[in-house]
Structures are given as C-alpha cells and as structure tokens.
C-alpha cells in the first residue's frame, strides 16, 4: 500500500480508491461565450475541437500548459499522457504527476471521451474556464494543493466521478452546489467546515 507524503495543509493522507457520453450542446455554447470574452483563447482552438482535430488542439493546449509551468516535466510528458481514437478524438489525457502548478485558460476548451487525470500535481486553483471542459467519464483532481475554486465551477458536468479529495479547500464557492456528476463526488480530506447540499450529484458524496 502506497502512502503519499504530507501535503501543503500539514496533513498526512492515506490511500484512496482510485460512460462514453454525448457532450451537451449547452456546454459548447457556454465555452463559445467564454471564448468571446477571453482574448487569450482563440475561436480557432474551439473549432479544432469541434472538427475532431483533437491532436492539434491538444498540442496547442499542451504548449500553453508548458508556458504556465516552466518547471513541469516537459512537453514530452504532457504528450505521452494523450490517447487518441482512430477518428482523431482525444480519448483520455493523463497528466498525473507532471509538476503542474497552474492551468491556462485554454484548458477549458479540452474535450476527452473518457477520463481526465490531474491528480498528484501542485495546483492551487483552477482557471475560470475550467467548468467548460468536457469529459466523458471521470475527472480526477486528487492530491493537489487546491485552496480555492472559481465561482464558475458550478457549470461543471462530469458523467462519472469527480474527485477533489486530499486538497486544501477550506470553503467552497456557492455555485459548487450546482455541480453535476453522474457518479461520486469525492471531497474527503479537505479542511472544510461547512457542506452544502448537492442535488445534482447522482452518486455518493464522500466527505
């Protein structure tokens, strides 16, 4: 059994347990509104995702990640975690343990057909665009250093499990109560002092 070291909250955490769906058009419209308001994110990048040119789109986002994280594992590590289908769609993206401390706004354009893995990094917050990314199954943000979440997070929809356990969240934005998950919502081992109701979580809420 593997146990991670003490995290930034000063706690020692033990081990936790670690479908293809149609993406909602409303999420796509929300992303386009965000793109219109955010200069750094180009319409052309969203068009690449729309056109199943996911390899090129993911490469652009990976470049933006590298710019935001000059000390990360490198572009090769970011690219190695990508798995593509024969039709060019990004099936999954494994960014576990890449030394990430920040995500660019362009990350909100990402679309994966199954899992997006961001666990075991050093993220302290997420970009406002994050709620508009599209995942087909699970989203893991376990064992980061998240202190805050953007207010826009309430628009996030995850068909499978959403894992935010083993972070440093002392409070949640009011909009977080609106998060949709088709599976579990995992918030264990955060120093949270209050808990909202989660009417849109279909699975278990782990506190």
Answering whether pTM is above 0.85, one says no
Instruction: Tell me the average pLDDT across 32-47.
Output: 61
The enclosing H or E element of 63 equals: helix 54-68
For residue range 182-204, list pLDDT tens digits in order: 999 999 999 999 999 999 999 99
pLDDT band of 73, cuts 50, 70, 90: confident
Quick one: CA dihedral 30, 33, 37, 43, positive or negative?
A: positive
Phi/psi at 105 (nearest 5 deg)? -60, -30
Q: How many residues does the chain have?
A: 207
Rounded to an integer, the average pLDDT of 44-65 is: 95
Q: Kindly write down the DSSP assignment for every residue of 143-174, as one continuous string.
A: SS------GGGGG-EESS-EE--SS--S---G
Q: What angle do CA 139, 75, 115 make, to 5 degrees?
A: 15
In the structure encoding, which two tokens stand for residue 205, read together?
Answer: 């809420």
pLDDT at 59 over 90: yes
For residue 68, what are its two tokens? 């935001």
Residue 35: Cβ within 10 Å count:
23
C-alpha gyration radius of the chain: 16
Reading the block at residue 63, the tokens are 């470049």
What's the rounded Cα separation, in Å, for the pair 119 and 98? Answer: 9
CA end-to-end span of the chain: 22
């Amino acid at each position: 059994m593997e146990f991670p070291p003490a995290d930034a909250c000063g706690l020692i955490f033990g081990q936790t347990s670690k479908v293809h769906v149609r993406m909602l058009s409303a999420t796509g419209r929300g992303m386009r509104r965000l793109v219109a308001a955010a200069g750094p994110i180009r319409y052309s990048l969203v068009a690449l995702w729309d056109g199943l040119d996911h390899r090129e789109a993911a490469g652009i986002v990976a470049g933006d990640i590298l710019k935001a994280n000059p000390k990360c594992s490198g572009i090769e590590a970011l690219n190695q975690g990508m798995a593509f289908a024969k039709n060019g769609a990004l099936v999954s993206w494994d960014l576990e343990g890449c030394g990430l401390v920040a995500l660019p706004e362009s990350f909100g354009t990402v679309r994966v057909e199954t899992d997006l893995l961001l666990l075991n990094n050093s993220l302290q917050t997420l970009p406002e665009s994050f709620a508009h990314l599209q995942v087909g199954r699970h989203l893991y943000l376990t064992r980061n250093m998240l202190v805050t979440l953007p207010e826009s997070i309430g628009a996030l929809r995850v068909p499978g499990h959403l894992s935010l356990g083993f972070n440093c969240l002392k409070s949640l934005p009011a909009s977080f109560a609106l998060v949709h998950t088709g599976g579990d919502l995992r918030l264990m081992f955060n120093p949270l002092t209050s808990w909202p109701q989660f009417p849109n979580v279909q699975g278990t809420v782990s506190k």
